[in-house]
């Protein structure tokens, strides 16, 4: 099993904080986001780790880490960055992490031990965190619905009420070669322009609703957060 961190984007909403470095090098509680992600992987015995780079790639000291470079990072979303690591995804089970989040090693462990072709972690108690980050949690939250078997029915939409949100997706995904094959079929059906604009949650929603695969959602109750604005740094201090 391998780990992949998607760290190609600039994080422009962080303003001057990412003027000269990738967002994954911002620090929470004295540690960079990237170092926290790598620690969570290593504590689960995942030692083969790749990082998809783009913006300010030269600032990342990736010793003993595989680099996948997205040359079109300025014009593409995270999904395109993910395809840069296809060499691993098509041959091995990989746990994929956004680079602007932090979490405990147990989150990675849940995905490592999942009996599913494709799985994600989610926070069932999301509202506590979102109320610290936003005046109105609905302004940023996305729809998230699961069935009794914890398979995703909907993810990534714009909610009209809290009833449409049973949790929040965290930015951690387990892909097996089979589920990556399904993802590639979806991506290959799109124009290059549509692929560049595709959000990860849109890809996951398509897999969950339009493919033969079931997307398993695993509840995670530990400490975690995403860094989407300078104010978030104060929330997690």
Digitized pLDDT (tens) for each residue of the chain, 237 residues in all: 999 999 999 888 899 999 999 999 999 999 999 999 999 999 999 999 999 999 999 999 888 899 999 999 999 999 999 999 999 999 999 999 999 999 999 999 999 999 999 999 999 999 999 999 999 999 899 999 999 999 999 999 999 999 999 999 999 999 999 999 999 999 999 999 999 999 999 999 999 999 889 999 999 999 999 999 999 999 998
Complete DSSP assignment for 214-233: -EEEEE--S-EEE--SHHHH
> How many helices (DSSP H) and strands (DSSP E) are in the chain?
9, 13
Q: What's the alpha-carbon Rg for the chain, to the nearest Å? A: 17
- What integer pLDDT is reported at residue 176 of this predicted model? 98
Segments in 16-124 forming alpha helices (H)? 33-42, 78-83, 86-89, 105-112
In angstroms, the CA 102 to CA 24 distance is 10
Cβ pair 178, 170 in contact under 8 A: no
- What integer pLDDT is reported at residue 148 of this predicted model? 97
Helix (H) or strand (E) holding 182, with range, is helix 177-188
Cβ pair 82, 6 in contact under 8 A: yes
- What integer pLDDT is reported at residue 42 of this predicted model? 96
Find the length of the chain.
237
- What integer pLDDT is reported at residue 11 of this predicted model? 87
Calculate the alpha carbon distances from 50 to 64, 81, 97, 179 in Å.
9, 12, 10, 19
pTM above 0.85, yes or no: yes
- The Cβ of residue 162 has, within 10 Å, a number of other Cβ atoms equal to 11
- What integer pLDDT is reported at residue 179 of this predicted model? 97
In angstroms, the CA 217 to CA 215 distance is 6
For residues 115-129, b (16+ Cβ closer than 10 Å) or e, as one string? ebbbbbbbbeebeeb
Cβ pair 187, 90 in contact under 8 A: no
- What integer pLDDT is reported at residue 47 of this predicted model? 92
State residue 168 phi and psi, 5-degree precision.
Answer: -130, 130
Cβ pair 219, 124 in contact under 8 A: yes
Instruction: Decide which of 3.40.50.11900, 3.20.20.10, 3.90.550.10, 3.30.9.10 is the CATH code for 2-235.
Output: 3.90.550.10
Beta bridge partners of 62: none
- What integer pLDDT is reported at residue 62 of this predicted model? 84
Cβ contacts of residue 101 below 8 Å, gap of 6+?
33, 37, 170, 171, 172, 224, 225, 226, 227
């Amino acid at each position: 099993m391998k780990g992949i961190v998607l760290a190609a984007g600039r994080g422009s909403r962080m303003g001057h904080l990412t003027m000269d470095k990738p967002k994954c090098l911002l620090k929470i509680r004295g540690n960079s986001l990237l170092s926290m992600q790598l620690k969570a992987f290593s504590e689960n015995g995942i030692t083969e780790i790749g990082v998809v780079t783009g913006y300010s790639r030269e600032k990342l000291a990736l010793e003993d880490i595989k680099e996948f470079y997205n040359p079109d990072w300025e014009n593409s979303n995270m999904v395109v960055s993910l395809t840069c690591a296809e060499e691993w995804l098509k041959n091995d089970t990989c746990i994929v992490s956004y680079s602007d989040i932090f979490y405990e090693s147990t989150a990675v462990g849940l995905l490592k031990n999942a009996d599913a072709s494709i799985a994600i972690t989610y926070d069932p108690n999301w509202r506590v965190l979102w109320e610290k980050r936003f005046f109105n949690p609905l302004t940023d939250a996305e729809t998230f619905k699961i069935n009794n078997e914890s398979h995703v029915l909907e993810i990534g939409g714009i909610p009209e009420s809290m009833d449409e949100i049973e949790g929040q997706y965290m930015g951690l995904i387990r892909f097996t070669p089979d589920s990556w094959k399904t993802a590639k079929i979806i991506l290959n059906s799109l124009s290059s322009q549509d692929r560049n604009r595709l959000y990860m949650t849109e890809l996951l929603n398509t897999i969950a609703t339009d493919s033969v695969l079931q997307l398993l959602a695993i509840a995670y109750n530990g400490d975690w957060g995403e860094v989407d604005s300078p104010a978030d740094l104060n929330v997690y201090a």
